[in-house]
Amino acid sequence: MDDQLLRMINQILAKGETAALVTIIATRGSTPRKAGTKMLVLPQGEIHGTVGGGCIEADIRRAALQAIADGESTTGTFTLLGDTAADEGMVCGGIVEVFIRVL
Amino acid sequence: MRQQTAESYHKLLQLAEQGRTVNTLSLVSGPPKVAGHLGQMLLVFPDGSADGVIVDGELTRAALAHVPRPAVKPALFAFDHGGDTYRCFFDIAAPKRQAVVFGGGHISQPLVAILALMDFRVTVVDDRPDFANRARFPQATTVLCTAFAKAGEQLDLGGASAVLILTRGHRYDIECLKMALPFTPRYLGMIGSRRRVTAIMDTLLAEGEDPQRLRAVRTPVGLDISAQTPAEIAVSIAAELVAAYHGGAQYRPLSEKVFRHG
């Protein structure tokens, strides 16, 4: 993991604050980023790192914010196959599964 | 749980700062009874030992036993335990790749910036204080102002390192190359005109340097993209380095790879 991300996670935990660390755990088909890629989502919606950008990242960010609100870590599957993806010009045509770790 | 997470991340940071590789194993899904344990994480060391607990000792051992071998890349895996299915994610936390740039000249500046963007820890070495300073290389992790021949005593150029030799003169290039060769870095590149690099190679061969080791040197450094300016040359070097790190030697446009027009 990126040292900078690791430092931010430590700061968040030390201050007793919360956030969600999103990790791509599996991919199928063509996806912009591979397993192990991480993105940190703060409760206000700010993100650090990227899981590929575009609409899929927006969906994942939304799911991460929901997980923070629920206070529960979870997994989620997101697809780049939809019409929205094509409209956005993101036609990688893949599926990513992420683990959302609520810190 | 939160306390445990904080301790794990604290250890991960400490290890990363020491440049050590440590992998992690996290529980990502399981039966409802372990819902509160999702995200529990083990630190897994290169010698196979592990630190931390996933649910309990028994499940921890079961999870570790099911890590796909060889454990060299991130992997999601499932296993059955006590009639339930669990899934864990094995993650690799390799230390940042290192690049050492010899010479603080006009090509090194954009090159260091690009390498830093690619998440390398970059060390710049030059023997002139006007060139080896942080103001010139704000993105570098370390800037060493020392005689080139002395730098080898302070640096580890082996393993996954990239070494780029871009000094101001042929004499210094030879010094740096001699210093770097025994480390067999992942990527070893040296800039120079056809004449300059031929002369250097001939000298080293005449001195009894191993021809096979010399063949591994990428010189003149970079891909042939007709680069002209320092920034363009830096791009050409960085592109070759990317290919070297990802095991590719096929430098061709993706358009040629994808479309084969008659």
A98: containing domain: 3-102
Strand A95-102, strand A20-28: pairing: antiparallel
First vs last C-alpha separation in chain A: 16
For the ranges A85-89, B41-45, B123-127, B249-253, which has the lowest average pLDDT?
A85-89
Rounded to the nearest angstrom, the minimum Cα separation between A99 and chain B is: 6
Chain A residues with CB under 8 Å of B96 CB are: 3
Average of pLDDT values for B100-109?
96
Average of pLDDT values for B77-94?
90
Count interface pairs A-B at CB distance under 8 A.
61
**Site from A6, A7, A96, A97 to mutate, B interface, most B CB atoms within 10 angstroms:** A6
For residue B112, pLDDT over 90 is answered with yes
Q: Which residues of B touch A (CB under 8 A)?
A: 2, 5-6, 9-10, 12-13, 16-17, 26, 28-29, 35, 38-39, 73-76, 87, 89, 91-93, 96, 119
What pLDDT does A66 receive? 94
**Site from B1, B38, B54 to mutate, A interface, most A CB atoms within 10 angstroms:** B38
- Alpha-carbon distances of B22 from A40, B15, B42, B156, B245, rounded to whole Å: 20, 7, 10, 20, 20
| Contact status of A91 with chain B (Cβ, < 8 Å) | no
Q: What is the pLDDT of residues A17-51, one digit of tens each?
A: 999 999 999 988 767 778 888 999 999 999 998 88
Q: Report which of residues B262 and A62 the model is more confident about.
A: A62
| Contact status of A72 with chain B (Cβ, < 8 Å) | yes
What pLDDT does B249 receive? 66
What pLDDT does B174 receive? 94
Domains of chain B: 2-91 (no CATH), 98-245 (3.40.50.720)
Chain A residues with CB under 8 Å of B17 CB are: 3
Q: Report which of residues B18 and B129 the model is more confident about.
A: B129
Whole-number percent of chain B with pLDDT over 70? 97
Burial of A16 (0-12, 13-18, 19+ CB in 10 A): exposed
Number of folded domains in chain A? 1
Residues 13-52 of A with CB under 8 A from B: 13-14, 23, 25-26, 34-36
A37 and A24 Cβ atoms separated by less than 8 Å: yes
pLDDT tier at B260, thresholds 50, 70, 90: low
Q: Tell me B101's DSSP state.
A: E
Q: What is the pLDDT of residues B195-237, one digit of tens each?
A: 999 999 999 999 999 999 999 999 999 999 999 999 999 999 9
What pLDDT does B215 receive? 92
ipTM: 0.85
Residue in B5, B9, B74 closest to A35 by CB = B74
For residue A85, pLDDT over 50 is answered with no
